[in-house]
Structure 1
């Protein structure tokens, strides 16, 4: 189940460049649990842990570098990451000192890059303090409840199938089923779908849009305990479908989608912070063509937001069948 408001909030991030989003994900978001460092007593940021010539590297330097570099060492065991990070920082400091001796800090392009990196660091620090760190458990839970309430429950189907290359083969198998043959046994013996065939053709539960249209339409039309009287054709071959059960899908548990909800709130807070920051600033684009493109992008985002709101209102007012699914390819198994 996907939360409907997520796509509308995500549209707003088109204001950001891909590089800013990448930095935001790496520096503002907390590390994933599988790569988090083991708990330890806070280190003194001023403690010196290495010297490169006369230059000192402190615990604070290491912590600052971790935001940019830790992703490179995710595959290392936790006890080796700190060592690898320090080794990388020594290499960086060594070449940095050589660059300063060569006067590269005065190069025009390098100056611009340093200025950009400073802006980016301040941008991320501001967003982390005023956006990321403000998200509370209560806010996450409230947003989860809001999304669940706004999500229309959908019917799921538990089905199995037999997939064969030709209609003639499918018709012959239906004849066997009509004569009392076991569906699971025929699927295990004849199905060309290796994944589900090993499970007696069992596909588990699926919802609207998860199967190709012809397969989905046939499955939803069946009553539990019945199979298709005629073969169903798709780009994968010819199917015989048996429906075992139907149910209304349950919303995902809060802990399952906690990070998804958190990302949604982070994006929204980011947009709010940027809009507030730009309220009292005049932004002037000196390239008319680029300004036209930016205005068009902003208008498209605003239109998408309005369309999404209109669709939500229409869905709430209408008491009709669910819309025709997009027809995504059937699962590999």
Structure 2
């Protein structure tokens, strides 16, 4: 998704915010520091913390507050000097402020009407829709015993024929790192294992073990199938974030489509117009499809 800095414009707007809040507001948003007549309030600190470099995200809270405060002091000191020089009155600065303001308004609209409007029912409905399109693949739950030679594998098969326990043999003789789990490989679908192993595993019935050693690049295997089933879809709680992103994208595209239908967009450069239309078509699939802006969801 495209990345939008919500801190840049917010910090500039905060610098221009009026002072003199009522006592109740002071209590809710206390002054953390002053630089001459300028104040740094807790609300600005929170904005600065949210805008810290991602590399600082894992710092302890107190260190993040120090980094945020240092950043705010630097900003206010040089912003005051810039104002004295009249840099805030230049056309370039006003143009940038206009862009940042519109970008933040876009993000505020996105948060209100897209992120904050998503309901659990919408997420569940989209999850059900996605799950319904999945064609479940066959899966097997297998165990194996891996040895270096064909002769060793044949001895193991003879022991199994004589009634010895597969799991115990695996723990004792297998050279695979999962020997302590009795050679348990869990469930897997086709395409997950090397071809020779996969072909042998899927050819066996539930409860059966291979009657001939299965040779692969790793050595010789004796395979037993514990279970066969159709692949299970992931539970909603496992993919909820991804499903929410799909709902978010669809809502965003719907708002864009309606906004574009209500306004005329003219692009002077023909090549640029063609390229824009190619990536802005809501019906497009794949890389050309517009994406919702990256935005922090409220946890």
Q: TM over 0.5, yes or no? A: yes
Point out where structure 1 has 5 or more consecutive residues left out of the alignment: 1-15, 28-41, 306-333
Task: Note the alpha carbon deviations across 1:66-94, whole angstroms, 9 max, x for none.
Answer: 44238554323346544543343333333
Note if 1:19 corresponds to 2:7.
no
Offset at 1:198? 4.1
Q: Higher mean Cα deviation, 256-265 or 144-153?
A: 144-153
Aligned twin of 1:265 = 247
Q: 1:65 aligns with which of 25, 39, 48?
A: 48
3-state SS of paired residue (1:19): coil
Do the aligned residues in 1 keep the contact of 2:153 with 2:221 (CA within 8 Å)?
Answer: no
For structure 2, the 5+ residue unaligned runs are 11-24, 288-299
Q: Does 1:88 align with 2:71?
A: yes
Distance 1:102 1:290 in 2: 38
Q: CA deviation at 1:45?
A: 6.4
Which has the greater radius of gyration?
2
* Cα distance change on mapping 1:211 and 1:123 into 2, 3 Å: farther
Change (3 A) 1:89 1:239: farther
Task: Note if contact 2:167-2:182 (Cα within 8 Å) is conserved in structure 1.
Answer: yes
How many Å separate the matches in 2 of 1:304 and 1:88?
40
Q: Does 1:199 align with 2:181?
A: yes
Q: Distance in 1 between matches of 2:173 and 2:273?
A: 61
User: What is the CA–CA distance in structure 1 between the aligned matches of 2:149 and 2:254, rounded to whole Å?
Assistant: 57
What is the aligned counterpart of 1:172 among 135, 139, 151?
151
Residues 183-209 of structure 1: CA deviation (Å, up to 9, x unaligned): 445655665543x24433221222344
The reply on whether 1:285 has 2:264 as its aligned counterpart is: no
Q: 1:51 aligns with which of 12, 34, 42?
A: 34
TM-score (norm 1): 0.63
Matched, 1:123 2:106: yes
How many residue pairs get aligned? The number is 265
> Tell me, what secondary structure is at the counterpart of 1:284?
coil
Q: Structure 1: how far apart are the matches of 2:280 and 2:97?
A: 29
Residues 19-51 of structure 1 show CA distances to partners (whole Å, capped at 9, x for unaligned) of 34x87xxx9xxxxxxxxxxxxxx9866543322
**Secondary structure at 2:181 match in 1:** coil
CA distance in 2, matches of 1:121, 1:106: 21
Deviation at 1:303, TM superposition (A): 5.3
TM-score scaled to structure 2, two decimals? 0.69
Cα distance, 1:197–1:110 mapped onto 2, change above 3 Å: farther
Q: 1:277 to 1:298 in 2, by over 3 A?
A: closer
Match of 1:159 among 135, 142, 145: 142
